[in-house]
A = this chain, B = another copy of it.
Amino acid sequence: MRSAGSPHRSEDLTTKARIRDAALARFPRHGFGATTIRAVAADAGVSPALVVHHFGSKDGLREACDRHVVATFRETKLAALEDDNMFNPGFAAEAYTMAQPLLRYFGWALARGHPAANDLFDEMLRESTEISRIAIARGMILDSPDLETRTAVQMAMQLGMTVMHSHLDRNLGMDTLSAEGIAALTPTLLEIFSGLFTPSILDQVKEAYGDRARELLDRVGPHIES
């Protein structure tokens, strides 16, 4: 799988990017109103005026965050599509390993219903549906008379889970947005959605995910009539 391509060490980032990243972390944690330009500037180690100089206004800063997150998600998703990794069972864990602040911000933007995030949701939904169709054709998941609705609900649920991640963390005693957390949770997700998989892919998954998945998936699963 291709790397996201963006630098991760903060000393490699331009001042503008450092300001943006500081805002990216603060907005979802404190909300838009409670996030002050002065605080963002302090996080980035610059003066408040420089924030305005680079982004025009506080709203401009938020829009820049929106655009950056949306663009990064799009790129990551496209890369995944190109490499045909969408059907790799371990894909989710790797994909979610991308910087957690981005995920947190994305969930926040979706919950806020910002136009740019709306567009991304809709685009992701269209692609998700298309991918579901391909997976059906490949005999991996089961068809549905209303695949659009099923995919939409499933996507809303999985993204919603991201927004609720702190509650999962607290109750499961782990960081569910980390790579290890995703890996630990994947068998359970497969168990929950087991009714939608074909028996053959379920066998493959049991093989791929080891004992824990086999244990969880032995009792449940799809049942095709005929």
Contacts and interface: CB of A to CB of B under 8 A. Distances in A.
24 contacts: A33-B33, A33-B35, A110-B167, A111-B111, A113-B167, A118-B170, A125-B171, A145-B216, A148-B172, A149-B185, A152-B168, A153-B185, A153-B189, A156-B160, A157-B158, A157-B192, A160-B164, A193-B195, A195-B197, A196-B220, A218-B225, A219-B225, A221-B222, A222-B223
Nearest to A165: B156
A171 B122 contact: yes
A170 B121 CA distance: 10
Report which residue of A108, A160, A224 has the largest number of chain B beta carbons within 10 angstroms of its beta carbon: A160
Contacts of A167: 110, 113, 118, 121-122, 156
Nearest to A129: B171
Interface in A173-226: 185, 188-189, 191-197, 199, 215-216, 218-225
Interface residues of A, number: 63
B195 A220 contact: yes
B172 A161 contact: no
A43 interface: no
A188 B156 CA distance: 13
Copies in the complex: 2
Interface centre among A156, A158, A185 (most CB of B within 10 A): A156
Interface of A: 31-35, 107-108, 110-113, 118, 121-122, 125, 142-146, 148-150, 152-154, 156-168, 170-172, 185, 188-189, 191-197, 199, 215-216, 218-225
Nearest to A216: B145
Contact of A219 (B31, B144, B164): B144
B149 A111 contact: no
A55 B135 CA distance: 55
A32 B213 CA distance: 42
